[in-house]
Structure formats: structure tokens, C-alpha cells
């Protein structure tokens, strides 16, 4: 069974962190608190879905430094920044780097809970995209070099006889390879094959 999403709270103020944990628990959310960015890094499991509620100014590694560390990774929890020392340039930098929301203390509890739910939704979308990418890559890896060549020609919109001429093989050979491509990729029609490959291309763009 997949884990339920968890709210990870990183704040070196014990009272603030305890209050945030209580807020999340009162909303029925799984929560785990950390007194430092390094403590979070030492414990975090990238496979665990959720989001990160992160203070900016902390002893040791700052919240923005942690954000930079995480965004360099292929999979990381969406981040909600909270701070009592915010300013416009700081907020702009954080949001451009992909932060879901930037909340200045004291903030409304509802605003934070809403931000957490948005972060959960974004995390679920990213994980679904990652699973789709992995599945398509797994299927593509089953193709032989010749089958991948045929696939590229199909995606280019070429008919079997044109592919046969371009590759110097018979049309029946092209048809046989084409059938294997469709089977290995789990596509029942040309339109389904095209949708699969468009999803693959779009997923790669999203990942980039």
C-alpha cells in the first residue's frame, strides 16, 4: 500500500514547530518535524509523498539553501516557505525556484492548510508523471535497434512502403517489425501509439 502524503516541517523554533505539527494533526494530516535542515536531509525518503513546510532563517543551513539542495534532485517534495523575515526579493527568488507558496508569519492557519493541499496535489501529479515516464522507458527498452528505427519512421508519419524503401528492406519485413513494436509498447492502434509517444515527449519536457 502506498504511504499517505506527509507534511514535513523544518523550523528551528521548537514552539513554532510544535504548533505547526499540532495544526497538521488537527486537520488529519500525517506530520513529521525537524529542528534543522540537515536533520531533514538525514531522514528524508524521496519515495515518501508529501510536502515540505520550511522556515527561511535557521541555524546552520538556511531554508533557501535547503530549497536549492532539493530542487537539484530529480524528485523532491513541493515546498511551502514560512518566514518572519520575508521581503519581496526573497519571495520572488523562492517562487521562481518553484516554491508553492510564501507565507509571512503570523499567517492564517487556513492559508497554510490550503497551501499544503495544493502542494500535495502537485506532488501527486509529479509522481504520476514519473511513473508514466518509467513505464514508457521500460517498454521502449524492450525494442531492438531495428524496431526503434521503425518506430521513429512511424512517428515521422511514413507509410510502410516508404519505410521499406528508406531502410532497404521489404515491406513485409517492415510490417512484421511494426507489429512487434505495437505489441511491445502495448498499443492497439496507430492513434494509441502516437498518444503514447506524445506522452513520452511531453513527460521528458516536464521533467526537464
pTM of the model: 0.74
Mean pLDDT, rounded, for 132-147: 90
Distance CA 55, CA 83 (A): 5
Quote the percentage of the chain above a pLDDT of 70. 91
Q: What pLDDT does 199 receive?
A: 72
For the chain, the straight-line distance linking the first and the last C-alpha, in angstroms and rounded, comes to 29
Distance CA 52, CA 116 (A): 8
Distance CA 42, CA 186 (A): 40
Mean pLDDT, rounded, for 87-109: 76
Q: Is pLDDT at 132 greater than 50 in this prediction?
A: yes
What would the DSSP string read from start to end of 54-97?
EESS-SSS-HHHHHHHHHTSSS---EEEEESS--HHHHHHHHHT
What would the DSSP string read from start to end of 100-146?
SEEEESS--HHHHHHHHHHHHHHHHHHHHHHHHHHHHHHHHTTS-HH
Q: What pLDDT does 205 receive?
A: 56
pLDDT bucket at 116, cuts 50 / 70 / 90: very high
Residue 12, φ and ψ in degrees, nearest 5 = -85, 0
Hey, what's the cell of 52? 515540505
Q: What pLDDT does 204 receive?
A: 58
| Region of poorest pLDDT, from 21-25, 86-90, 99-103, 177-181 | 86-90
pLDDT bucket at 197, cuts 50 / 70 / 90: confident
Q: What pLDDT does 41 receive?
A: 92
Mean pLDDT, rounded, for 133-149: 91
Mean pLDDT, rounded, for 137-165: 92
What are the beta bridge partners of residue 55?
A: 82
pLDDT bucket at 19, cuts 50 / 70 / 90: very high
Q: Is pLDDT at 203 greater than 80 in this prediction?
A: no
Contact at 8 Å (CB) between 139 and 186? yes
Q: What pLDDT does 87 receive?
A: 65
Distance CA 86, CA 164 (A): 64
pLDDT bucket at 1, cuts 50 / 70 / 90: very low
Distance CA 156, CA 126 (A): 29
Contact at 8 Å (CB) between 35 and 17? yes
Q: Is pLDDT at 207 greater than 60 in this prediction?
A: no
CA-wise closest residue to 5 among 41, 29, 34: 29
Amino acid at each position: 500500500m502506498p504511504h499517505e502524503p506527509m507534511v514535513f516541517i523544518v523550523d528551528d523554533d521548537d514552539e513554532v514547530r510544535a504548533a505547526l505539527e499540532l495544526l497538521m494533526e488537527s486537520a488529519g494530516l500525517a506530520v513529521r518535524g525537524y529542528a534543522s535542515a540537515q536533520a531533514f536531509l538525514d531522514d528524508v525518503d524521496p519515495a515518501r509523498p508529501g510536502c515540505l513546510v520550511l522556515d527561511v532563517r535557521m541555524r546552520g543551513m538556511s531554508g533557501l539553501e535547503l530549497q536549492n539542495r532539493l530542487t537539484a534532485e530529480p524528485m523532491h517534495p513541493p515546498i511551502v516557505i514560512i518566514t518572519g523575515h520575508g521581503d519581496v526579493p526573497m519571495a520572488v527568488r523562492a517562487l521562481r525556484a518553484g516554491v508553492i507558496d510564501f507565507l509571512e508569519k503570523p499567517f492564517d492557519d487556513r492559508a497554510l492548510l490550503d497551501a499544503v493541499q495544493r502542494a500535495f496535489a502537485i506532488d501527486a501529479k509529479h509522481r504520476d508523471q514519473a511513473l508514466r515516464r518509467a513505464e514508457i522507458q521500460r517498454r521502449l527498452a524492450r525494442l531492438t535497434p531495428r524496431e526503434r528505427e521503425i518506430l521513429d519512421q512511424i512517428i515521422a508519419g511514413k507509410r510502410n512502403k516508404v519505410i521499406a524503401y528508406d531502410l532497404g528492406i521489404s515491406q513485409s519485413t517492415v510490417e512484421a517489425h511494426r507489429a512487434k513494436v505495437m505489441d511491445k509498447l502495448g498499443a492497439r492502434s496507430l492513434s494509441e501509439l502516437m498518444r503514447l509517444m506524445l506522452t513520452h515527449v511531453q513527460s521528458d519536457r516536464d521533467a526537464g
